[in-house]
Amino acid sequence: MTYEEVGLTAEEFTHICDQMGRVPNDLELGLFGVLWSEHCSYKSSKNLLAWLPHDGPAVVQGPGENAGVVQLDDKVHVAFKVESHNHPSYVEPVQGAATGVGGILRDIVAMGARPVALADSLRFGTDDPSQHLQHAVVEGVGAYGNAIGIPTVTGEVGYGAVYDKNPLVNVMAVGLLPAQRKISARGARPGSYLLLVGQPTGRDGIHGASLLASQDFGEGTEHMRPTVQVGDPFMGKLLMEATLAAVETGLLDAVQDLGAAGLTSAIAELVYRSQVGAQVWLDDVPCREPHMTPYEIMLSETQERMLLIVAPHHLEAIEAIMNHWELPHRVIGEVTEEPLLVIGTRDNPRQAVLPPEILAGACPLKPVPANGRDKGRQLVPSMPAFKPLTLEREWGLNVLGAPECKSRAPIYQRYDSMILTNTVWGPDHPLAVLRVKDSTAGLAIAVRGPGRYAALDPYSGGMAAVARVISLLATQGAQPLGLTDGINAGNPDREDVFQDLMALLAGIADASQALGVPVTGGNVSLHNETSGHPIWPTAVIGAVGRHSCPLEPVPDAPMAAGMDILWVGPEDLGLGGSIFESLYSPRLTPYPRANLTQLAEVLAWVTSLARTAPGIALRTIEEGGLFVAMSRAFIKAPEKLGITVKADDPVVEWLFSEAVGQFLIFSTPESTARLLEESPKSVTVRVIGQTTLDGALQFRAHKTLHYSREELERTFAQGYRG
């Protein structure tokens, strides 16, 4: 076996030999191949991720564990994380998406938290095969989440030709745990046992991390199907319940789920973090298939497996729990004081002997220029702004009916969003609101991944992703507790892709810092390109917030006639990166950059407004701009209600700009004067219309655009067919 066959470079192989003082054997080389892959090592992104703020008053656990943890209140903590399963979902979309759900749920369980919610952020191409791919991916997400009994409560989907052969499947999971519970993947102690529980190990998923998720695609993918794991949600349910029952006893030293690179990653990272070693007995690993080699056993990515570290005197009690749940389990080794990972059989006990600090901690990282963050902030070359001189009625219908803006009901209706009976607001709203049964507070959950905004200016795209989710929390008066990031980009060995990656992370870092919300962990997926064509750098950001009145969410549509409609937003809008521009402009222009100082002020004000102003409704302006936001509010309003808006100049830009920091407020006339008086001086707030009883949506500019409820409902549901 050569180093090229396991995905290592000549420089990396030389580094390994120098560090070890010898040439690794084939088994050892395979272990280095997976753990030094892009997917496992983050070798191209780790130095960039260091820019992100990780500390905050609510942070209990930041990056470095299976998931981030934040404090909801004195009794309840929240574990949450976003993960991607992009490459497997292209090769085998149903299983790829399903096992992505299973994997992120195990990350939450490994923190001792009970999963309570899922959210997904999906990106697909625009060609015919992508439609079939979307159907299969949604089937996979729904099949696993529904079967294991965890609701999918919110999400989003976007489209672009750059995703034709590179779909993005990012899934966020959220779990709850008692505040006093402490479990981690760094508590292994010498003398304790390695207890492998769950599915017997098979040949599925071998090289899933190194061959599949760390390489670019060519034209053919059939040969890669065996590298896609196969999920079993019913075994996943047993594993979740048994693991949580074991954690609740307080008898475990550590917990680590088996995901990418299987036993190799789980054991190596656990002993490295714990500064110990381990002896692994391969002949004790339960195998589903006969004659599996040591290489296959260590690199298998069979799903629904967990590694528990148990002291000998607690083993019987933990095994009793596994037996109760009829869950296969076996001791496969023990923790040693000497910091060496030793792998073998009783007949040949030292088939691999590796220092964990080399295997899991010495992969060379891609250097970042000293001015890398400043370089990421650099403005892209200016381009002439797109400024249409006319206003046509069908433009609004075309934008509302575009794939990015029309109803997501065909997707979320395939998910169970109400199981566990905690969901107050589900996927038919811009964000989710959940009650928490052991707390007076609730949870607000949002996820966004606006890749199109990063197409020409990745810095703006990173900023916008953060701003979007915090804006959504603000409309509910929810206090942001933390963020999780899913970074998706092309081949980082290409200089242009790495420059975009730097800019994207700089935007995320600056926005999260300016808005005061830490990033507690996440995922990086690179090599998302086919035949040299990369995706747009796409930052998927998930957020959780503390909601003080979860059983009474702030409405997102007007409730009665006679309400004032207020628009909140920056002075500089622009059509860059908008759906309107993609439909009507001969070229794309950069997404407008936000003034982060002003944005922080308006978000604080909107958050306060949501908590204290009686009788208001709030909605963010996102894809499709004000026209789509107003149309959705109109569709959700009582049937006889109408909306009349006086459009501002420049009217097209005002109607269709997707710049962050824009909100709609529906207010009683009694409250409007106070809202205008208390609004931040740096932000524009103006009354733009009223709700009526004429049952229509009207925009009055130099001509009046009139839309009936039936027309807008049909367009939103089916797309515009004019």
Query: Is 116:109 a contact under the CB 8 Å cutoff?
Result: no
Percent of the chain with pLDDT over 90: 88
Q: What is the mean pLDDT of residues 163-190?
A: 95
The pLDDT of residue 687 is 96
Q: Among 362, 389, 407, which residue terminates a domain?
A: 362
Using the predicted structure, report yes or no on whether residue 217 has a pLDDT greater than 90: no
Tokens, residue 65: 């564990």
Specify the number of domains making up the chain.
2
Domain-located, residue 238: yes
Domain-located, residue 577: yes
CATH number at residue 233: 3.90.650.10
Distance of alpha carbon 348 from alpha carbon 340, whole angstroms: 16
Q: What is the mean pLDDT of residues 338-363?
A: 97
> Regarding predicted confidence, which is higher, 153 or 588?
153
Distance of alpha carbon 57 from alpha carbon 64, whole angstroms: 18
Q: In the annotation, is 429 catalytic?
A: no
- Which of these is catalytic: 15, 39, 207, 429? 39
Residue 582: pLDDT band (50, 70, 90) is very high
The pLDDT of residue 307 is 98
The pLDDT of residue 390 is 85
Q: How many helices (H) and strands (E) does the chain have?
A: 23, 28
Domain-located, residue 567: yes
The pLDDT of residue 572 is 86
Q: Which range marks the domain in which residue 599 is found? A: 555-722
Least confident of 31-35, 201-205, 602-606: 201-205
Distance of alpha carbon 65 from alpha carbon 54, whole angstroms: 13
Q: Could you report the per-residue pLDDT of 448-504, keeping only the tens digit for each?
A: 999 999 999 999 999 999 999 999 999 999 999 999 999 999 999 999 999 999 999
The pLDDT of residue 683 is 80
Report CA Rg, the chain. Answer: 26
Q: In the annotation, is 313 catalytic?
A: no
SS3 330: strand
Percent of the chain with pLDDT over 70: 97
Query: Is 523:83 a contact under the CB 8 Å cutoff?
Result: yes
Calculate the alpha carbon distances from 23 to 18, 34, 351, 402 in Å: 9, 17, 14, 57
Residue 213: pLDDT band (50, 70, 90) is low
687 secondary structure, DSSP code = E
Q: How many CA atoms does the CB half-sphere of 663 hold within 13 Å? A: 32
The pLDDT of residue 98 is 96
Domain-located, residue 477: no
Tokens, residue 44: 């191209």
The pLDDT of residue 433 is 98
Q: Among 326, 343, 362, which residue terminates a domain?
A: 362
Length, in residues, of the chain:
722
Domain-located, residue 440: no
Q: Could you report the per-residue pLDDT of 249-296, keeping only the tens digit for each?
A: 999 999 999 999 999 999 999 999 999 999 999 999 999 999 999 999
Least confident of 85-99, 143-157, 207-221, 455-469: 207-221
The pLDDT of residue 396 is 96
Query: In sequence order, what DSSP letters do the residues of 497-566 get, joined into one string?
Result: HHHHHHHHHHHHHHHHHHTT--EEEEEEE---EETTEEPPPEEEEEEEEEES-TTSPPPSS--STT-EEE
Query: Is 38:498 a contact under the CB 8 Å cutoff?
Result: no
- Which of these is catalytic: 85, 87, 207, 429? 85
Among 174, 254, 208, CA closest to 88: 208
Distance of alpha carbon 443 from alpha carbon 435, whole angstroms: 6
Among 420, 440, 417, 426, CA closest to 550: 440
Residue 209: pLDDT band (50, 70, 90) is low
Q: Could you report the per-residue pLDDT of 529-562, keeping only the tens digit for each?
A: 988 899 999 999 999 999 999 999 999 999 999 9
Domain-located, residue 334: yes
Query: What's the mean per-residue pLDDT of the chain?
Result: 94
Tokens, residue 389: 């001189």
* CA 302 to mean position of chain CA atoms: 23
Predicted structure pTM score: 0.96
Q: Could you report the per-residue pLDDT of 382-411, keeping only the tens digit for each?
A: 788 788 878 899 999 999 999 999 999 999
Q: Among 307, 340, 362, which residue terminates a domain?
A: 362
Using the predicted structure, report yes or no on whether residue 212 has a pLDDT greater than 70: no
Domain-located, residue 457: no
Domain-located, residue 620: yes
Q: Could you report the per-residue pLDDT of 677-721, keeping only the tens digit for each?
A: 888 887 889 999 999 999 999 999 888 999 999 999 999 998 755
Using the predicted structure, report yes or no on whether residue 352 has a pLDDT greater than 60: yes
Highest mean pLDDT among 213-217, 219-223, 399-403: 399-403
Among 122, 44, 58, 45, CA closest to 90: 122
